[in-house]
Amino acid sequence: MAVRLSVVMVHSAPATPSAERVAQGVVGELIGLSGIDLVLVGPLDSLSESSTDRLTLSSIGGDIAMLDWRMPEVMHESLRRLGIDGTRTRHTADPEVAEIGIAAVNPDGQSRKLYFFNLNEFNTPEPVVASIAKLNAARAVRTFSLAPMVKHSNAKESAQSEDKRVLSEISDDANSGAPLAGDARLDVAGGDVVKSKHSGSDASTQGALGPSTQRPSTMSDGSDGLDPGGQDLDALIDELDQLDP
């Protein structure tokens, strides 16, 4: 949404023809200027409480650029008497002023600023219009702090680094055959159960290897002596030889 500035110009009879040309040129340029709401009112000190111009001024809620043929402090005092509060704010056409005044509140919650232009200081309308355009462009620039964004970014990077570290540890444990972090936590929470499970696994492994380790021993025992059947056959042959006449 574009930032808009209310420009209030006091419509009064200029003192010289040159001033008249300045007034006409300013009005003509500001009517078509983007972001500017131009309001023409009569002399401030002549506005009654029920006048349309005073009601119009009272309805303005934002910052105001005030154009008149008087000094800025005189314009500021006239606005205060009309109940239009705000802070007199430094700008290119009013550079020497300190920001003073009653801080009125805008609809956006910020203090309303008052920018005063003494038209007696201008010989042509162009510097007035250019100053107002530059002022409104500066108001459209919003500043904000980067601290929350940086903090959020650092927190996100930290979380990503932690996730990568955990995944790296899990990968290393899987490659080395070591128990994963989940097994380690189970070992702490229920040490006996996990230990029994590992012991059972060791016993199963031992049983699976048992027969193969005992078989060579059995074969070795069978090869130490002669077969009993072979001994009986030799004895029978010897008896038959003795019985033969």
> Is residue 36 situated within a structural domain?
yes
> Is residue 48 situated within a structural domain?
yes
Helix, coil or strand: residue 67: strand
Residues whose CB falls within 8 Å of the CB of residue 170, separated by 6 or more in sequence, listed in order: 180, 181
> Is residue 192 situated within a structural domain?
no
Helix, coil or strand: residue 76: helix
Strand partners, 7: 38, 65
- Asked if residue 136 lies in contact with residue 113, where contact means CB atoms within 8 angstroms, the answer is no
> Is residue 204 situated within a structural domain?
no
Count of structural domains within the chain: 1
Lowest mean pLDDT among 133-137, 176-180, 211-215: 211-215
Looking at residue 119, the DSSP 8-state letter turns out to be: G
Is residue 228 very low, low, confident or very high in pLDDT (cuts 50, 70, 90)? low
Residue holding tokens 């002023």? 97
- Asked if residue 139 lies in contact with residue 65, where contact means CB atoms within 8 angstroms, the answer is no
Q: Is residue 215's pLDDT more than 50?
A: no
The parent domain of residue 105 ranges over 5-139
> Is residue 170 situated within a structural domain?
no
Could you give the percent of the chain with pLDDT greater than 70? 55
- Asked if residue 117 lies in contact with residue 125, where contact means CB atoms within 8 angstroms, the answer is no
99-157 pLDDT, tens per residue? 554 444 444 445 889 999 999 999 999 999 999 999 988 887 654 445 555 555 566 66
Identify the burial level of 87 via C-beta atoms within 10 angstroms of its C-beta, where 0-12 means exposed, 13-18 middle and 19 or more buried: middle
The rounded mean pLDDT for the chain is 73
Q: Is residue 42's pLDDT more than 90?
A: yes
Q: Is residue 212's pLDDT more than 50?
A: no
47-100 pLDDT, tens per residue? 999 999 999 999 998 999 999 999 999 999 999 999 999 999 998 888 876 655
So what's the pLDDT on residue 241? Answer: 73
So what's the pLDDT on residue 3? Answer: 81
So what's the pLDDT on residue 233? Answer: 77
Is residue 8 very low, low, confident or very high in pLDDT (cuts 50, 70, 90)? very high
> Is residue 174 situated within a structural domain?
no
CA distance 17 to 20: 5
Average pLDDT of the segment spanning 220-228: 47
> Is residue 103 situated within a structural domain?
yes
> Is residue 155 situated within a structural domain?
no
Query: What six digits make up the tokens of 81?
Result: 């008497």
Alpha helices (H) in 140-227, listed in sequence order: 147-176, 181-189, 191-222
Residue 52, domain CATH: 3.40.50
Strand partners, 115: 65
So what's the pLDDT on residue 16? Answer: 87
Query: What six digits make up the tokens of 201?
Result: 């696994």
